[in-house]
Amino acid sequence: MDTVIVSDISIATDPGSLSQGHPLCMAADSLREGGLVAFPTETVYGLGANALDPEAVKSIFRVKGRPSDNPLIVHVPETSHIRRLVKEIPGYAEAMIEDLMPGPVTLVFTKSEMIPYEVTSGLETVAVRVPSHPIARLFLTLSGVPVAAPSANISGSPSPTNVSHVINDLSGKIPYIIDGGPSDVGLESTVIDVTGDHPVILRPGGVSEEDIIKYHPKVEYSSETTDTPKSPGMKYRHYAPAAKVISVGPFDTFDDMVSVIADRISDPDNGEIKIGVYSNDKVIEALREQRIVFEPISYGNTTDVKAAAYGLFAAFRRADEKGLQILIVEAFREEGIGKAYMNRLNKAASSVESRSDKNIVRRLVFVCTGNTCRSPMAEYLIRAETPEACVPGFVVSSAGIGTMNGMRASESALNVMNELFGIDMSAHRSSVFTDNIAESNDLILAMTAWHRDVLRKTYPSAGHKIHTLYGFVRGEDRDINDPYGQGEDSYRETALEIKSLTDELLVRSNVTE
């Protein structure tokens, strides 16, 4: 499909004065008739479809590669259009609409019959937004229908804050992309549930808690925004660049910041790795003066968190373009837009959630018989991917149900882990599985169904936490067999088998944003 890029739109344009042949009118016509159009807003670019056309809405999920269980926001050009999309507006929300809209905020209401379930992923609620970007409002007015739109990125990449990001992700896949220049805010809107008797912040964004408290003395965050996922286990990976994102700070002084970042870059563990730093001009200058080698990504000659927020997603994209393996990002205090900034940064820094329901896995243990081969392999493979700096508070270990304490990993296991992955397991010593291990871990992954069953029988109260590795990751009833007593080739096969499972455990392709 050829994609038309509509640019150079005069902001002063009055919708009535645009001729039918104007590319913006053609984009609006295309959307009304079922096409997808990417358009600018002051937060991030959106990928719009006619919200009243279920087939068009479904095509959004296809083009983005987004799971259909994540509902979309409906965009309208005027607050007066909200009423027909929703069943009721609580008193406190009337004032919020009046003051905060148009702007970087989305309110969730009980939906009216007009909104199809394709938009809300089957929910009885609908998220509504009135963007303030003049081209967005002009486009929405020309469309003449409510527009369902997620961020205009393909799932798994950061939300686009510039037309070039959209072109990168969606060119050739949709008929129109409207260029409105760089987005002002650079982070997505604040999503607030107003279906209850007080506002609940579902996603922090451009409008802060401090702005909302005026409308109701009680403002809550949903537990999903406060419990930053910091575990392997994985359902959704958000905004994550390929580079490992490490957040540092916030710092009391400039010198502290420079010295901590300098130490991080110079860590001998990093060897030849390509490292980038996202901070301001002064910090980058100071690091350069120390002759430290890194890729600078600056948010400008300022220390304002607004500027850092504005540039964050573009920095993630730059990190990928430059092939960085680590991106060190300056942290800010969680005040005002700093809350939204840290929310996005933390998600990118440790973007894996538990797959089994919403439980966060902070302690994970692998179990086999001797704890000298299979389970230490799994432990060390996970450990290699989850350095303490990236996944604070997460602990992985291993144990055996028929062993003694203090034995080294088997010679062949040591050799193949080294040879295949450069992982050194020489520090490993075996541990006997104990009551305490059963109790203190959040997830217990056994190598075979036999181990699982023995564990479940012995520790019935921990039963729900005990699974086989195959069962938990792939839902398969399958064992990882013991290579003990066989040649090194068998150990190699086992290591590769475990590696493919631990990789899946860490990063599922199941992406939402």
Write out the residues near ligand TXA by the rule CB under 6 A: 41, 43-44, 46, 70-73, 106, 108, 120, 123, 125-127, 129, 149-151, 159, 188-189, 191, 202-203, 513
Indicate which of Mg ion, ligand TXA, none lies near residue 241 (CB less than 5 to 8 Å, by partner kind): none
| Choices 103-111, 125-133, 166-174, 505-513; region in contact with Mg ion by CB under 5 A | 505-513
Indicate which of Mg ion, ligand TXA, none lies near residue 228 (CB less than 5 to 8 Å, by partner kind): none
Indicate which of ligand TXA, Mg ion, none lies near residue 53 (CB less than 5 to 8 Å, by partner kind): none
3-class secondary structure, 107:
strand
Whether omega for the bond prior to residue 182 falls within 30 degrees of 0, making it cis, is no
- Report the relative pairing of strands 443-446 and 363-368 from DSSP bridges: parallel
CA dist 13 → 7, 39, 103, 144, 208 (Å): 13, 16, 20, 17, 31
- Nearer of residues 148 and 445 to ligand TXA, judged by Cβ: 148
- Nearer of residues 171 and 303 to ligand TXA, judged by Cβ: 171
Indicate which of ligand TXA, Mg ion, none lies near residue 186 (CB less than 5 to 8 Å, by partner kind): none
- Nearer of residues 224 and 424 to ligand TXA, judged by Cβ: 224
User: How many beta carbons lie within 10 A of that of residue 2, not counting itself?
Assistant: 6
Distance in Å, CB of 169 to Mg ion, minimum: 11
Indicate which of ligand TXA, Mg ion, none lies near residue 203 (CB less than 5 to 8 Å, by partner kind): ligand TXA
- Nearer of residues 70 and 440 to ligand TXA, judged by Cβ: 70
Cα dihedral across residues 262, 265, 271, 275: positive or negative: negative
Distance in Å, CB of 238 to ligand TXA, minimum: 10
The burial of 269, by beta-carbon neighbours within 10 Å (0-12 exposed, 13-18 middle, 19 or more buried), is given as exposed
Indicate which of ligand TXA, Mg ion, none lies near residue 449 (CB less than 5 to 8 Å, by partner kind): none
Distance in Å, CB of 137 to Mg ion, minimum: 21
Q: Which two tokens stand for residue 376?
A: 């230490």
Q: Check: CB of residue 326 under 8 Å from CB of residue 293.
A: no
Distance in Å, CB of 188 to ligand TXA, minimum: 4
Distance in Å, CB of 50 to ligand TXA, minimum: 15
Comparing every residue's Cβ against Mg ion, the nearest one is 151
Subset of 401-420 contacting Mg ion (CB under 5 A): none
Contacts of 234 (CB under 8 A, 6+ apart): 352, 353, 354, 355, 504, 505, 506, 507, 508, 510
Cα dihedral across residues 237, 238, 243, 247: positive or negative: negative
Binds Mg ion by CB under 5 A, chosen from 143, 151, 346, 398: 151
Residue 513 engages Mg ion in binding (rule: CB under 5 A): yes
Please provide the DSSP assignment of 164-219 as one string. Answer: HHHHHHHTTTSSEEE---S-SS-SPPEEEE-SSSS-EEEE--SS-HHHHGGG-S--
Q: Which string of b and e fits 444-473 if b means at least 16 CB within 10 Å?
A: bbbbbeebbebbbeebeebeebbbbbbbbb
3-class secondary structure, 16:
helix
- Nearer of residues 57 and 443 to ligand TXA, judged by Cβ: 57
Distance in Å, CB of 70 to Mg ion, minimum: 9
Indicate which of Mg ion, ligand TXA, none lies near residue 506 (CB less than 5 to 8 Å, by partner kind): none
Max Cα-Cα span within the chain: 83
The rounded distance, in Å, linking the Cα atoms of 237 and 235 is 7
Distance in Å, CB of 250 to Mg ion, minimum: 26
CA dist 324 → 172, 289, 295, 310 (Å): 27, 21, 8, 21
- Nearer of residues 219 and 420 to ligand TXA, judged by Cβ: 219
Residue 334 engages Mg ion in binding (rule: CB under 5 A): no
Distance in Å, CB of 23 to ligand TXA, minimum: 20
- Nearer of residues 193 and 513 to Mg ion, judged by Cβ: 513
- Nearer of residues 104 and 483 to ligand TXA, judged by Cβ: 104
**List of long-range contacts for 8-12, beta carbons under 8 Å, 24+ apart:** 8/179, 9/135, 9/138, 9/178, 9/179, 9/180, 11/134, 11/135
Residue 324 DSSP label: -
Distance in Å, CB of 58 to ligand TXA, minimum: 15
Distance in Å, CB of 48 to ligand TXA, minimum: 8
The rounded distance, in Å, linking the Cα atoms of 331 and 337 is 12
- Nearer of residues 43 and 386 to Mg ion, judged by Cβ: 43
- Nearer of residues 46 and 204 to ligand TXA, judged by Cβ: 46
Distance in Å, CB of 198 to ligand TXA, minimum: 16
Distance in Å, CB of 126 to Mg ion, minimum: 17
Nearest to 263 by CA among 299, 255, 241: 255
The three-point CA angle 90-201-226 to 5° equals 155
Indicate which of Mg ion, ligand TXA, none lies near residue 441 (CB less than 5 to 8 Å, by partner kind): none
- Nearer of residues 201 and 401 to Mg ion, judged by Cβ: 201
Indicate which of ligand TXA, Mg ion, none lies near residue 179 (CB less than 5 to 8 Å, by partner kind): none
Nearest to 315 by CA among 391, 245, 264: 245
- Nearer of residues 151 and 375 to Mg ion, judged by Cβ: 151
Contacting residues toward Mg ion, per CB under 5 A:
151, 513
